[in-house]
Amino acid sequence: MYKAVFIDMDGTLLKKDHTVSEENRNTIQRLLNKGILVIPISARPLHGILPITQKILPDSIPVVSLNGSYIFHKNEIIAQIDISLAAVASVHEQLILHDLSIMYYSQMQWYATAHTPAIEKEQRITAVPIQILPFDQIMSTWKNEKTGPNKILVAGDKELILEVEQILISQFQAKLNIFKSQPRYIELMHIQASKTSAIQFLMNQYGILQQEVIAIGDNYNDKEMIEFAGVGIAMGNAPEEIKRVADFVTDTNNEDGVAKALAHYFPEN
């Protein structure tokens, strides 16, 4: 008996236009009515998730944001982990050598040092305005607040992203989780922050076993949770590498893949 379903958002629950289809919405409601936890788990910041999830999920459902590094439940942050400022400074020194857009997400705020088309694209799906500041000023703010970013998002040309990903892994894999979430995006979090670690945290909160968990995703930052879950589901639009590790491959995000997968594991009788 499955007790919890963790669903990625972009490329999974959401269609290309960033909306939830009626079929997905109705299927999620059916599961909620049966007492199944349906938990969104996304690389998006919290303020990029809540305007969507508040329309389809009750406040009693946790929301996992920033690739597992920031978890929200009943109007409170119940878990978070940020990147050390020493690591942030080292990563920044490496990234500024390349033609990249760099965004820093810290709790409910996000920062960059300059406007770029990639940042403007992210702003369109993010309710909170980005703060454009010199890097030293961003770091000073974090030092004063004794905090740091929960996630660093790096955007660039596909080929450059592949090159930079390997550089970052070679230098920082002992300290940071480093994933591609799209061909043009790299995401960096604390080594202990991931979608899988967030699932494990919530499993402990609810007394749920690994074999009672379903995870659905479409990209490289979903690979670990798809492998971890009792049932891991890959979207039809996922890369072949992600499909290979899944227990089940469903249709694409534009063809109600989430609803079809859930109907397979939770038939209507």
Which residues are known catalytic residues?
8
Which own/partner pairs from 236-241 qualify as long-range (CB within 8 Å, at least 24 positions apart)? 237/11, 238/11
Strand order in the sheet with 131-132: 131-132, 109-112, 101-106, 151-155, 185-190, 176-182
Per DSSP, the residues of 84-108 read -HHHHHHHHHHHTTSS-EEEEEETT
Report the distance separating Cα 216 and Cα 258, nearest Å: 8
SS3 163: helix
The number of CA neighbours under 13 Å toward the Cβ of 38 is: 23
Handedness of CA 261, 37, 18, 237 (dihedral sign): negative
